[in-house]
Amino acid sequence: MRDFNGQLENEAATLHIGRLLAAATLEGLQAPDGSATVIHLHGELGAGKTTLARGILHGYGYEGPVKSPTYTLVEPYELDRRRIYHFDLYRLADPGEVEFLGTEDYFAGGNLCIVEWARRGGERIPSADLEIELWGEGAGRSIACTAHTGAGIEMVTEIVKKLRAGVDV
């Protein structure tokens, strides 16, 4: 399955989708070339991108606070099962600034990279395995997921399968 569209009633539903994404990526999704699994998060300010990233991190067992790395640009999480890098490129004035982040190291080695505002990084940010668009106002949100690789298709398939089965993670 390549696409998934849905409604998220509230913050708890956004966190739940994040935990489902974590479960999907925990099941051995590793690129054969040793590159990272890449998820791009799109949406306006306040759309729920960081909340979704928080759900993914919680799904991996991280219990600390998760805030948007707007000022640090990247926040590393060294977890038992995987290294996760959470990017927020909102403040980039030019895609060339990505070079100073040392992205070659982040987007390799089987890491999971969650990138908010990925379009601001231009071609210097690797293509997404999975792109997620969030939008809406108030408590509810709409979500659209589009897979671009085999790993992305596996993620979408697992999310839909678990939603249909009523799996709570």
Residue with tokens 């100073």: 100
- CB contact at 8 A, 132 and 4: no
What is the SS3 assignment for 84?
strand
DSSP 8-state assignment for residue 44: S
Stated pTM of the model = 0.93
Question: Which token pair is 1?
Answer: 């399955």
Q: Which amino acid is at 37?
A: T
Span 3-116+136-165 CATH architecture: 3-Layer(aba) Sandwich (3.40)
- CB contact at 8 A, 141 and 8: yes
Domain edges within the chain: 3-116+136-165
Residue 107: φ, ψ to 5°: -90, 45
User: pLDDT per position in the chain (169 positions), as tens?
Assistant: 799 999 999 999 999 999 999 999 876 556 656 789 999 999 999 999 999 999 999 999 999 999 888 888 999 999 988 999 999 999 988 888 888 887 778 998 889 999 999 999 988 899 999 999 999 977 889 999 999 999 999 999 999 999 988 877 6
